[in-house]
Chains A and B, each alone.
Chain A
Amino acid sequence: MAAEDTDVPQLSYPLEIPKLKCGAMADSSPYAASSAHQADLGFPGELLPDWKQRALAKIKELAETNRAFQVYLDACVKCGACTDKCHYFIGTGDPKNMPVARQDLLRSVYRRYFTFAGKYFPWLVGARDLTKEVLDEWYSYYHQCSQCRRCSVFCPFGIDTAEISMAAREIMDVVGKGQKYCNEIIGKVHNIGNNLGLQEKALRATLEDLEEEIEEDTGVSVRLPLDEKGADILLVTPSADFFAEPHIEGLIGYAKVFHEAGASWTISSYASEAANFGLFIGSHENMQKVALRIRKAAQDLGVKRIIFGECGHAWRVAYSFLDTLAGPWDFLDPNFPVPQHICEFTWNEIRKGTLNIDKSQNDHIKLTFHDSCNVARASGMGEEMGGQFEIPRNILKAVCNHFYDMPRDTIMESTLCCGGGGGLLTDELMDLRVKGASPRMTALKEVTEEHGVTHMAAICAICKTQFSKVMPKFGYDMDSILSVHQLVSNAIVLAGQDGVDDENVKEASVTN
């Protein structure tokens, strides 16, 4: 596999700006969607003979229906402020991975066909004709953008390359040039209800196994209810939480918090997926179709609240778009925001004092927190501005004695992407993923050297999967990445929980 011949970039902190390596990543390209995958989403199965006309018509449509698209394509002054802000550029040195250069791949075509300067003086403004080569270049480089929005933080006009990438992918989809990974997954959600294609039966069995596991561990029966009508809370969580490590430990954490809080909750087998890859391919229709499953599940089950599990882009769609896509939510309890994040719920319980927490259970861990892009730069949490930074950290500090932040210019709104977001979490892009992760890994090494940090927590299913794959290449164990609610789970002492943990507590106090 491509992964084996990846040369792992050795960077150092503070991150250096690489020398330009033209064409370094020109061969990186994800697998194409088959015609069956395309059909499930309502896209043509292969590149259509009149693809060029269709692509141009789509650009025109986007310019007329999406303000961001036109303003961003017009407003860039080529100041260069964003050029060193993309983790893929820092990791690869390929100039087309500089955010402005990535936008220019599409801007050059927009200018040529839709602006005065580009129509009459193309050479002056770098406008170019749309050709097959251009289309292939789009396919390659718009799949080297994790839509993390880091560039938009630093642009004087807030130009968000993620918006341009999404638009480009949508243009490619409507002419029949889709990406396999995203489109196959979206099809599974439409047909079955989650990214994995996990059927209701399998899901039920998994949840029952987990219940047994918790009972074995703690002696307390903690439920993970499925499709329970009349429950108060619908939990919508990424399907990775049902089977992957460390995600599953997070799910156990949510269950324990709900149990201790005495909350009545349920998972839905119909909307058994928080993720919404419709975002990544810029398809409003597909994103809406996925989101509407949640609405239907909430209505069918008669819940009063909706809470989302740990997933980055899902939280963006939930927090910023859910009301637009699938609202109004007037049938839910107006006393709670719709939707809520599991961290909001847990932090609230911690503040109320409902949870019995033994921090020493996490004493073997020196922890840092990775802000996931879509949570950090595209959503919020709690009532205060910046709650998405404070609340997860507050939780971690409440359940863990040793917490250290990575350097300030690599966290919060300046966080560095894990390298696998935005629909790039697929094996054939492993080389790109490793290189894209290198800036984050470099910042992590910094706190490892300074404070002996051993683990990193995250609230995003993609981040967790990506890190467990790439961290070993940077000298960390694959289980150095943790779910935030895994740490919560470790520290919660359930009411009636028996012996095991008490011993640990004693041990811990003896060594102290």
Chain B
Amino acid sequence: MLGTVYAVLFYAATAVLLFGLVVKAWTYGRIPAPLRIPTAPAPKTRAGVFWRMVREVAFFESLYKSNKWIWLFGWTFHMSLWLVLARHLRYFTQPVWGWVELVQPFGTYAAFTMMLGLAGLWARRVVVERIRYISSPSDHLMLALLFGIAVSGAMMRFVAHTDIVAVKSFMLGLMRFRIGDLPPDPTLMVHLFLVAVLMMVFPVSKLLHAPGVFFSPSRNQVDNSREKRHVAPWSAKLES
């Protein structure tokens, strides 16, 4: 029974996440960028833009220039999240890939740095007048959601172990469209439920910054407007 409920939930969440993201990315990609608006100084070549983007998404370069505290907390959170996600791959693969084994110890403790980052961001949202001013309830809820996921996850790892072997076989089953059973562990229920919620709000919330950053014209355009003519289809129509 429990297994079926969560199976449905996860199929739904995965569908919403994938469908939502594909539609958004497709929309972004299809909308014309009529004028060249890279924030200068911008790279003169595609390779240069590629590296600019790598620096943005791997090191949060602009944020670093902007505000060291937000950078510290934001970067810590995101990188920890990647480690944690990578570690979780072990529950979806059999046999477990070598590099996932390698990441395992880092991914485990990254739960704490992740919480630290979230706590820092949240504290700023409450304490710093300017950031409090621009925050909506959804901004706090998003932090609460992530915090809930991190805490419930860490609980199962460090406080009250869940039957992880059963969880893994449930997940492997789901991937082969076989619905198995889940251990009736409340912490696990909370953890999985929150993750499913996160997946579902992804395409309708500010989490769209993840695909958005790659489509941001101020960051992804090459500075070559004197060398190459750029005309968007709709503005070409105005030309005749």
**Chain A min CB distance to B112 (Å):** 22
Does B28 belong to the interface (CB within 8 Å)?
yes
Expressed in whole angstroms, the Cα–Cα distance for A327 and B67 within the complex equals: 41
**Chain A min CB distance to B99 (Å):** 28
Contact A67 B33 (CB under 8 A): yes
Q: Which of B213, B223, B235 contacts A385 (CB 8 A)?
A: B223
Does B153 belong to the interface (CB within 8 Å)?
no
Does B37 belong to the interface (CB within 8 Å)?
yes
Does B42 belong to the interface (CB within 8 Å)?
yes
Expressed in whole angstroms, the Cα–Cα distance for A66 and B234 within the complex equals: 10
Does B56 belong to the interface (CB within 8 Å)?
yes
Does A78 belong to the interface (CB within 8 Å)?
yes
Partner-contacting stretch, out of A244-252, A374-382, A433-441, A493-501? A374-382
Chain A 317-329, CB-CB to B under 8 Å as 1, else 0, gives 0011101100110
Contact A78 B35 (CB under 8 A): no
Contact B65 A71 (CB under 8 A): no
Contact B217 A284 (CB under 8 A): no
Does A64 belong to the interface (CB within 8 Å)?
yes
**Chain A min CB distance to B60 (Å):** 6
Expressed in whole angstroms, the Cα–Cα distance for A75 and B213 within the complex equals: 7
Q: Which of B34, B60, B218 contacts A65 (CB 8 A)?
A: B34
List, in ascending order, chain B residues with CB within 8 A of A117's CB.
138, 204-205
**Chain A min CB distance to B123 (Å):** 12
Chain A 331-358, CB-CB to B under 8 Å as 1, else 0, gives 0000001110000000000000000000
**Chain B min CB distance to A272 (Å):** 23
Does A197 belong to the interface (CB within 8 Å)?
no
**Chain A min CB distance to B132 (Å):** 9
Q: Chain B: interface secondary structure?
A: helix
User: Which A residue sits closest to B57, measured CB to CB?
Assistant: A156
List, in ascending order, chain B residues with CB within 8 A of A337's CB.
226-227
Does A2 belong to the interface (CB within 8 Å)?
no
Partner-contacting stretch, out of A97-105, A132-140, A447-455? A97-105
List, in ascending order, chain B residues with CB within 8 A of A202's CB.
none
Interface residues of B in 122-144 (CB under 8 A from A): 124-125, 128-131, 133-139, 141
Does A510 belong to the interface (CB within 8 Å)?
no
Q: Which of B41, B63, B128, B234 contacts A380 (CB 8 A)?
A: B41
List, in ascending order, chain B residues with CB within 8 A of A125's CB.
136-138, 205
User: Which A residue sits closest to B227, measured CB to CB?
Assistant: A337
Q: Which of B62, B70, B130, B226 contacts A323 (CB 8 A)?
A: B226
Of the listed residues A116, A121, A158, the one surrounded by the most CB atoms of chain B closer than 10 A to its CB is A158
Interface residues of B in 175-213 (CB under 8 A from A): 204-206, 208-209, 212-213
Expressed in whole angstroms, the Cα–Cα distance for A72 and B138 within the complex equals: 18
**Chain B min CB distance to A304 (Å):** 16
**Chain B min CB distance to A84 (Å):** 7
Expressed in whole angstroms, the Cα–Cα distance for A376 and B219 within the complex equals: 15
How many pairs of A and B residues are in contact by the CB < 8 Å rule?
Answer: 204
User: Which B residue sits closest to A124, measured CB to CB?
Assistant: B138
Contact A124 B141 (CB under 8 A): yes
List, in ascending order, chain B residues with CB within 8 A of A155's CB.
62, 66
Contact B216 A72 (CB under 8 A): yes
Contact A321 B36 (CB under 8 A): yes
On whether A75 and B206 interact (CB within 8 A), knowing A80-B130, A320-B225, A321-B35, the answer reads: yes
Does B105 belong to the interface (CB within 8 Å)?
no
Contact B28 A71 (CB under 8 A): yes
Expressed in whole angstroms, the Cα–Cα distance for A144 and B17 within the complex equals: 39
Does A76 belong to the interface (CB within 8 Å)?
yes
Partner-contacting stretch, out of A36-44, A146-154, A169-177? A146-154
User: Which B residue sits closest to A317, measured CB to CB?
Assistant: B35
User: Which A residue sits closest to B129, measured CB to CB?
Assistant: A20
Contact A71 B217 (CB under 8 A): yes
List, in ascending order, chain B residues with CB within 8 A of A481's CB.
none
On whether A80 and B124 interact (CB within 8 A), knowing A85-B66, A125-B138, A158-B216, the answer reads: yes
Does B117 belong to the interface (CB within 8 Å)?
no
Cross-chain pairs A/B with CB under 8 angstroms, 25 sampled: A19-B129, A20-B129, A20-B133, A68-B216, A70-B31, A71-B212, A71-B217, A74-B208, A75-B213, A78-B135, A80-B70, A81-B70, A104-B134, A116-B204, A124-B137, A154-B65, A157-B209, A160-B218, A163-B37, A284-B34, A285-B238, A319-B226, A321-B35, A324-B225, A413-B41
Given A71-B217, A125-B137, A378-B40, 18 further pairs, Cβ under 8 A: A67-B31, A75-B208, A81-B66, A95-B133, A115-B204, A124-B141, A153-B62, A154-B67, A156-B209, A158-B39, A159-B216, A319-B225, A324-B35, A324-B229, A377-B39, A380-B41, A385-B42, A385-B223
Q: Give B contacts to A, CB under 8 Å.
A: 24, 27-28, 31-37, 39-44, 48, 56, 60, 62-63, 65-67, 70, 74, 121, 124-125, 128-131, 133-139, 141, 204-206, 208-209, 212-213, 215-219, 223, 225-227, 229-232, 234-235, 238
Lowest 7 A-B CB distances belong to which pairs?
A75-B212, A158-B218, A154-B66, A126-B136, A80-B131, A158-B219, A81-B66
